[in-house]
Amino acid sequence: MKNESKGFDSLPDQVSAIYSKVDRIEKLLNHHPSFKEEVKDEFLTIEQAAEFIHLARQTLYGLVCDRKIPYIKRKGSKRLYFSRNELREWIIGGRKKTSSRQISGSK
């Protein structure tokens, strides 16, 4: 990056350029083989899942009751299990675009 003094008026253009560069870097990293780590799925108990997603156990029970979060319950069992990968996807699925990204139309 050039070490130039830019005026305040050029700040939106500079921010836009930074977003573009970050998006390009993110795309390169996502397609680079060494950065694609294979995450093995692991099953978590209610306590482990609550700790993993930083929620209280009762809040997690509420989400299960409302069927708002993926979970596993064997027939005839009272025990709940959660897939670490499914919880990760559930969290990512709630991602919202920032206002500047919504305007530019980028991801």
Tens of pLDDT along 15-71?
A: 899 999 999 988 887 777 665 555 578 999 999 999 999 999 999 999 999 999 999
pLDDT of residue 26: 85
Q: Would you say 106 and 15 are in contact if contact means Cβ atoms under 8 Å apart?
A: no
pLDDT at 86: 94
Residue the block writes with tokens 């989400």: 63
Q: What DSSP assignment string belongs to 29-79?
A: HHH-GGG-PPPPP-EE-HHHHHHHTT--HHHHHHHHHTT-S--EE-TT---
What's the confidence (pLDDT) of residue 100?
A: 67
